[in-house]
Structures are given as C-alpha cells and as structure tokens.
Amino acid sequence: MSLRPSLRSTAHPLRYSYGTNGLTDLRLDDALSLLADLGYDGVGLTLDHMHLDPLAPDLAARTHKLARRLDQLGLGVTIETGARYVLDPRRKHGPSLLDPDPAQRARRADLLVRAVQIATDLGAHAVHCFSGILPKDTTEETDTKADTEGAAKGDAAVAREAAEDAAWKRLAETLTPVLDAATAAGIPLAVEPEPGHLLATLDDFHRLRTALGSPDALGLTLDIGHCQCLEPLSPADCVRAAAPWLRHVQIEDMRRGVHEHLPFGDGEIDFPPVLEALAAVGYQGLVSVELPRHSHAGPQLAQQSLPFLHHAAAVSTPPDAGRPPIPGEGSTASEGRTP
C-alpha cells in the first residue's frame, strides 16, 4: 500500500520516474523517499555499488527489503544497467556485450541475467541494456580479411565492415542466454540505442531484432534525447515508429548532434508532441528522467522536472511558448554543473 496519494495528473495517462543515476549522492532509501514525496510514480533503478549493488553479498535479501520499501512508497520500477564502473573499475561500461574476450562478455551477460532476477523480485516492468562500443580489438582481429579483400574495397572499409559484422554476431550470441532468462521470467529486455555504440539507432535495433528472430522478450528502450541527437525522424515520430517494440522510455533535453543529457529547457526538444505521441500509442511503462551527470543538483532537478513534464503533457504548444515559468526552473540546472 502506498504511503502517499498519487500526484499524477488524472488528465494524462503517462507515469513518470526519475533515474537513480542522477541521484548518486543520495542513499537509495533517501532517493526513493524524495521521489515519492515529489509525486513520482516510479524510479529508474541503476544497479550500482551505491544503489543495490548487484555483486555484493546477500543480494536476494537486500532485493526483498527494497521490494517492501517500493511497495510502501507506491513506486514502480525499471531496472537500468548503465552503471559506468560496476564491473570494471578502470573501463567505463566495461566489459560490454561486444568484448573480444568471451569470458568478459559472459560477465556482462551474467550481470544482465542478475538484473532480470532482480526485476522479477521487484515487479519491474523492464530491464534496460545497451550494446557497448565497437572494441578496437575487433578491427584488429579482422585485418587478415581486409588484406585479402582490400584490393576491391579498400583496407580500411573492409576492416570496418568485417569488424561490425563480427560485433553484431557477438552481440546476438551474448544476448541469447539473457533473452532466455527474460522469456522465462516474463520480463522484457529493453535494448537502448546509444550514440557512439554499435547499436546506436532505431535501424540498428531492428537489425538486432531480425538477427535474433524477433523474440517476444526483446524490446526497446527509447531515449527521447537520443532521438533529437541523431535520428532522422523527430522525437515524436520516433515514438510512433518504435511503438510496437517500446518497453521503456528515458527522457531529458538534448541538442541536435550533441550527446549531452540536459535538464528540461536547456536543449531543443519540443516535449508536448512527444508526450502526446507516447499517450496516443498506449505506452504503459515508466517515462524516466535521465540526467546521469547532474547528481550534484539531483534533488533540485527532480523537483523541477516533474512539474515540467506535467505541464508539457497538458498543453499542445511548445513548453516555453506563452506559459509562466515554473518556480526555480533552469536556475539550479545551470549553476555549479560538473561534467
């Protein structure tokens, strides 16, 4: 039973959450209490050393305790797996699903299988993941193929093509046991197109989906900012195009061609059409604010973000056109920002 009344607008069906990767300076229970008090419907829980460490002892007991707390607060949850150094203290997001070493790829797959179990125990609506960047070693491994085919297409182009083909094969193979676990648990595995990664766009998601045979457990995490950054379609059109596979949504502001997660109002996105599109396609999951480089101002940004989204959902004009400013909006977001 929830300890607080729902503050969500009854005029709009979307449910909003905030990512704990933007609240890393808070203890997990303090972060959850903050979000519940502010009126959020849920939390995007990034498994990390400071928030439900997936590798520390007594994981099952800690997860059970967290499940009770989420229930008390009336918060839904999505499991996020984008912690920078949870597996390797020296390599950001390493090892990835594309690591040249099979044992290292297996470590990432094991983390995702653990995430599926955690999601099951918490009643989460999805588990998020991403491909990782194309490792340099992958290109080196394909130099021989480039040597034999280079006369026709050029060494660099052939090497790159061969490296990408090998990486896509690795990705599909490494995800297979994770998808098996997700299928058994009834939890969608929602892959996120990430700028700079092998799987960077909606088209790339469909390449993976096709390679895997379109399993029911494979879904999509759509980051609205990433759509603004690099997709040819508008963010609202991306929502409509992605609707059949949409299992998780992350949201923040962003500028075209620049992969930098920004507080609402600091970028270029027109949010009312995006939220209208999400509602129109019947999206049922959480819409999670994703500001992983703003933990220094996390509580303030969490407080500002929810009224912004509620207002954007209630209007059909751009959020800055002809509306009074939300108290405090933009001030904290621009002060003391760290990279």
Per the CB < 8 A criterion, the answer to whether 246 and 217 are in contact is no
Mean pLDDT, the chain, whole residue set: 89
pTM for this entry: 0.86
Cα 210 from Cα 25, distance rounded (Å): 40
Q: Is residue 177 reached through a cis peptide bond, with omega within 30 degrees of 0 on the bond before it?
A: no
pLDDT greater at residue 227 or residue 157: 227
Give me the pLDDT at residue 330, please.
43
pLDDT greater at residue 34 or residue 322: 34
58 CB burial (10 A radius; 0-12, 13-18, 19+): exposed
Mean pLDDT calculated for residue range 87-101: 94
Taken in order of first residue, the domains within the chain and their CATH numbers are 15-334 (3.20.20.150)
pLDDT higher than 90, residue 77: yes
Per-position DSSP letters for 86-138, written without gaps between them:
SS-SSSTT-S-TT-SSHHHHHHHHHHHHHHHHHHHHHT-S-EEE------HHH
Per the CB < 8 A criterion, the answer to whether 121 and 75 are in contact is no
b vs e for 209-228, b when ≥16 Cβ sit within 10 Å of the residue's Cβ? beebeeeebbbbbbbbbbbb
The confidence band for 140, taking pLDDT boundaries of 50, 70 and 90, is: low
pLDDT greater at residue 313 or residue 324: 313
The confidence band for 153, taking pLDDT boundaries of 50, 70 and 90, is: low
Nearest to 262 by CA among 61, 17, 101, 22: 22
Strand 15-19, strand 218-223: pairing: unpaired
pLDDT greater at residue 339 or residue 207: 207
The token duo for 59 is 């994981």
The confidence band for 336, taking pLDDT boundaries of 50, 70 and 90, is: very low
Give me the pLDDT at residue 138, please.
60
Q: What single-letter amino acid sits at 229?
A: C
Give me the pLDDT at residue 136, please.
80
pLDDT greater at residue 144 or residue 91: 91
Cα 198 from Cα 166, distance rounded (Å): 11
The token duo for 168 is 């896509």
The confidence band for 157, taking pLDDT boundaries of 50, 70 and 90, is: confident
The confidence band for 11, taking pLDDT boundaries of 50, 70 and 90, is: low
pLDDT higher than 60, residue 335: no
Report in angstroms the alpha-carbon separations of 44 from 75, 126, 190.
10, 10, 13
Per the CB < 8 A criterion, the answer to whether 20 and 78 are in contact is no
To 5 degrees, how large is the angle CA 224–CA 225–CA 226? 90
Cα 230 from Cα 237, distance rounded (Å): 13
pLDDT tens-digit readout, 233-281: 999 999 999 999 999 999 999 999 999 999 999 999 999 999 999 999 9
